[in-house]
Amino acid sequence: MRAPAPDASNLPHEGASSSPSGGWLSRFLGWRGPERGSVVLHYRRVFILPTRYGLLFGVALLAMLLGAINYQLSLGYALTFFTASVAVVGMLSTFRNLAGLKLRMIETPAVFAGAPACLGIALENAVHPRTRWRLRIAAANSSTRHLRRKGGLSSQPLNDPVFLPAFFDVGADSPASLIVSVPTHQRGLMPLPRLRIDSVFPLGLWRAWAYWHPAGQVVVYPAPEVQPPSLPAPGALEAEGAWRGLGQEEFAGLRDYQPGDALRRIAWRRAARDEAGLLVKRFDGAQSQRLMLDWQQLQGLDTEARASRLCAWILEAEARHLQYGLILPDRRVDYGQGFDHRERCLYALAAMPHPAAS
Amino acid sequence: MKLATVATWEFERRNKLALLAVLVLIFLPHLSILPLWCTLMWVSITSLCAWRVWRRATELPRLVLLPLTIAVAAGIWIQFGTWIGKEAGVALLLLMTALKLLELRAARDIFVIIFLGLFSQITAFLNDQSPLVALGAIISTWGLFAVLISVQLDAAPLSGRRRAALALRLCAWAIPLTAALFILFPRASGPLWGMPGGNGTAATGLSDSMSPGSVSKLVQSEALALRVHFDETPPPSERLYWRGPVLSRFDGRSWTPLPADLQLPPLTRSTATNRAVDYEITQEPQSQAWLFMLEIPAFLPAFNDGLNPSLSAEMTLRGDRPLLEPVRYRLRSFLDYRLQPDLRPDQLEPWLTLPRGYNPRTLALAQQLSLPLINAAPTNGDTALADTLEWRLAMTVLNYWRTEGFSYTLTPPALTRDSVDAFIFDTRSGFCEHYASAFTVLMRAMGVPARVVTGYLGGELNPLANLVTVRQSEAHAWSEIYVRGWGWVRMDPTSAVSPDRIQSGLDDRLYEGRERDGWLSRIGLSSLRWYWQIGQAQWQRWVIDWSQARQLDTLAKLGWPRPDIGTLGGLLAAAVLVMLAFTAWPLLRNPDTRPKAQVLYSRACRRLERLGLVRSPHEGPIVFGQRVARSLEPKSAHAFSEITDYFVAISYRQCVNPLPLLIRLARCVSRFRPALV
């Protein structure tokens, strides 16, 4: 399932996005707005701070130092320093677990509103082959926050397996690919969220994290209405009887294949016989069963309800193999049929501006 | 994404078992010092926990744990009367850690136990800072970090051995930083707060008083007392009298020092300086402030850490506070000397007094022994020592020991109220303190000023390093008598009974079957023991006794002009930075592992990028070269086409030896300064 190519105008322009806020702080912190293509987590992009356990560990170290000082224990000093040094090396190790990682967005399939958007991401070593253990990635704003309190351990059950990230490992020379689930709430062209990738490996005393804001968007179709009224009559005003023609079409000839034609209408036997190309069987009676779904005819509903109903109708019309089209306030999709046609219609619905924005 | 193939709980079980094993290792050094019930309790709680983890039982309910915790806390209160302080604190810490093991619910509990385990190791050092304990601490710290890492890894596909290896690598990387911190961190020179429970049972040593049995109790102990480094070959061990407290007041049963407010004649000495010995003493902690020295010192030792030593009129050295940590001092001593030879008879009063009504038979014996000598012709002033009256009186007493069947034993029979009477006339067997005490009383009864000196005699010589090790078992008591014209002269009454004690240390038979040299000497490896001794001495010197004074001293010796605590701080900061860089560099370094030609080519491309000629991802080098050639001025276009040719030739054509091409490519790239038309 692949989203139709979005308009170039919908993508943030690379030049324009390079400094969204432009402040020196955001430049220093490496908040560079949406980035296209693959991204290498350079050292300057990786942040690190102690975890809750790291702070507790600091308290323990202080207690050890005080004990060593008070009782004049030279080995106590030595052990304290050794433990602290291991923690410092652990900090570098945690940092290294993230730095130099190469991230790439593989695919952002379209979803219906309410279902999680599944972003396919590939991770690999940019240069140096190195196994990276126990990484997590999630949308930056939402779900990592309350997970952080658990100290980066998965021994406690995660209550929402869809949006809470699990751990993954990146092999030294085997790229990892995984899916990040992001909740969707609203129809539209949802810009990809800023992602946060983090790790507390190896000691759990430090947390390194980095932000990655991939450019691009997820097409979110409207959620189809649950129990929509039956499809409007074809041609909108035609007689009820026209419906009886459904499924009783008669073969009316062949025409050239166009992308989007249903596979089962292709004249396969003919295609096997000569190399002229694919031909599609044409049926009569389709003329009378053409269905134009018109935005304007759905009076008395608000925009989102209309979009939902149209979405449900499109799905139903496609299921019934009707020839259908769509008229929206800002665009029109001509009659057609097939998977790509359906996607075209749904995309038109998704891309329709929200009333608040217009 | 690699899938977790092993169930999480299985790893949790392994982590818990590993944690238990490490905690047992940490607890081992504490085993000997805790009360028995604490040890038993710890063992039972830990085994219960191990069994439960092994059987994958669920945690105990709080309803069981809470009363158990309260019971443990109450037990410790009953035993020690406190929860803080050295012993009570350690007991509480260990038992609470064990109890925490019973409620291993979440990862948080494991963290807490690991931190408690780290802290518990510090408490082990309170009793023992030997290399063995240090090694144990290193191993268990490694174990704790391994568990920490394993908890983080959870169900990741990595064997237990690889997890331990990860921890080991982390620990190895920490060593340089640890060394810098250990050497340069400014050490505090005193405790931050009082040391509760610091004195008492922990420190052993000669005490302020001597009553029958006090020294022989010490002799049972193999604990280290002094370590002495001689600059040259040390004197023979029968001449190594380590002088400690001088006891001059006798109350009929025990000997104590003279009261501090008593006016004593000033300390004068005329010393025969023909034999001076230079040495450095490291004295183990004692509950008293006495400092030991070989016979008569030439000067007062200097201490850096404010332990102002003072030399008393009786030639004893003591600091101004109990020596709860090891002290080290350099001294020069004279073995041939005359101590206060010019005292007037009235100044000698304190060393002649005897308690009234005690030991009547001894006084009578003194009369009887001295009568023939005193009646003999009085000696004139300038006689040899052996001809003096005092000396001959002393010899009479020693002869009495020899001829009347006195014997030397570590386990003398108990004595009655008139202890000296009972010893001389009834039991006739005793230890050095009996002999020194009886001898001194007899001498005083004969009118010869005398006093008891306690300290150590001899020591074990390690010929490899001129190192003499003195143990508590070498504790000894002897006498000094005042010979007119000669000053205080040392007399060792024990020698009359047991010359072996003086010459070769304690008789082996007195050790009741304990082996002095052990198995090493039996298989002919006693030199190994000497090396071990030297190692221990160096360990003590460079690790255990590393103090602020030693830090500054070492810096000064290295040529630092007037180092102070600020110098240490600055050096530490610099060293930590260097070490961090040293540690971070290999960890963070990201070498460019692309082929060399690729690196050179992209360098040329970057220069083109500055002119706005960006190579798109889909463009191959040849196509890109053709496109670029149109916008560049001819000379740089030619240069870039050359670069492209070399790059393509190296990368895509199979050439046997790309090195000459690579060199040419590098030369072209370094000269490449593109310009637009």
The H or E element that residue B143 is part of is: helix B131-153
Q: In Å, what is the CA distance from B391 to each residue of B297, B446, B482, B664?
A: 24, 12, 9, 102
* B114-147 residue pLDDT tens: 999 999 888 888 888 888 899 999 999 999 999 9
Cβ–Cβ of A201/B545 closer than 8 Å?
no
Query: What's residue A84's pLDDT?
Result: 96
The H or E element that residue A255 is part of is: strand A250-256
Q: Which has the higher per-residue pLDDT, B539 or B2? A: B539
How far apart CA A328 and CA A311 sit, in angstroms, is 12
Mean pLDDT, chain B, as a whole number? 81
Best B90, B104, B182 residue to mutate vs chain A (most A CBs within 10 Å)? B182
Predicted TM-score of the model (pTM) = 0.69
Number of Cβ within a 10 Å radius of residue B482: 23
How far apart CA B543 and CA B131 sit, in angstroms, is 10
Q: Is A127 on the interface with B (CB under 8 A)?
A: yes
Half-sphere exposure of B346 (CA within 13 A, CB side): 1
Q: Which has the higher per-residue pLDDT, B387 or B177? A: B177
Asked if residue B493 lies in contact with residue B479, where contact means CB atoms within 8 angstroms, the answer is yes
**Amino acid residing at B368:** Q
Residue percentage of chain B with pLDDT more than 90: 15
Q: Tell me which residue in B129, B156, B173 faces A75 most closely, judged by beta carbons.
A: B129
Query: What's residue B2's pLDDT?
Result: 33
* Confidence check: pLDDT of B335 > 70: yes
Pairing of strands B255-256, B296-297: unpaired
Q: Residue B415: which of B401, B398, B427, B400 has the closest Cα?
A: B427
Query: What's residue B168's pLDDT?
Result: 95
Q: Is B671 on the interface with A (CB under 8 A)?
A: no
List the alpha helices (DSSP H) in B317-472.
360-375, 389-403, 419-421, 432-445
Query: What's residue B470's pLDDT?
Result: 86
The A residues from 54 to 83 touching B (CB cutoff 8 Å) are: 56-57, 60, 63-64, 66-83
**Amino acid residing at A212:** W
Cβ–Cβ of A86/B126 closer than 8 Å?
no
Asked if residue B466 lies in contact with residue B231, where contact means CB atoms within 8 angstroms, the answer is yes
Q: Measured in whole angstroms, how far is the alpha carbon of residue B549 from the centre of its chain?
A: 16
Find the length of chain A: 358
Cβ–Cβ of A169/B173 closer than 8 Å?
no
Q: Is B373 on the interface with A (CB under 8 A)?
A: no
Angle (CA) B315 B318 B323, round 5°? 155
Is the torsion defined by CA of B532, B533, B538, B539 positive or negative? positive
Q: Which has the higher per-residue pLDDT, B460 or B524? A: B460
Q: Tell me which residue in A74, A134, A168 faces B153 most closely, judged by beta carbons.
A: A134
Chain A CB contacts of B193 below 8 Å = 70
Q: Which mean pLDDT values do the consecutive 10-residue runs of chain A (358 residues) have?
A: 39 36 62 79 87 93 91 91 95 90 90 90 83 87 45 36 69 84 88 90 92 91 90 55 46 74 76 74 62 85 89 90 88 88 93 72
* B12-32 residue pLDDT tens: 788 888 999 999 999 888 877
DSSP string for B301-346:
PP-SSS---EE-TTS-EE-SS---S-EEEEEEEESS-EESTT--GG
Q: Is A152 on the interface with B (CB under 8 A)?
A: yes
How far apart CA B500 and CA B507 sit, in angstroms, is 7
Q: Tell me which residue in A64, A70, A72 faces B119 most closely, judged by beta carbons.
A: A64
Q: Which residue of B has its CA nearest to A88?
A: B174
Q: In Å, what is the CA distance from A216 to each residue of A104, A108, A116, A191, B43?
A: 12, 8, 17, 6, 62
The SS3 of residue B165 is helix
**Amino acid residing at B174:** A
Q: Which residue of B has its CA nearest to A200?
A: B152
Q: Which residue of A has its CA nearest to B3?
A: A168
Q: Is A296 on the interface with B (CB under 8 A)?
A: no
Cβ–Cβ of A70/B593 closer than 8 Å?
no
| Residue B521 pLDDT class (50, 70, 90 cuts) | low
- How far is the alpha carbon of A340 from chain B, nearest alpha carbon, in Å? 27
Place of tokens 């969707």: A184
- How far is the alpha carbon of B166 from chain A, nearest alpha carbon, in Å? 9
**What residues pair up with B471 in beta bridges, in sequence order?**
B224
Q: Give the largest CA-CA distance in chain A.
A: 102
How far apart CA B673 and CA B643 sit, in angstroms, is 12
Place of tokens 């009298």: B241
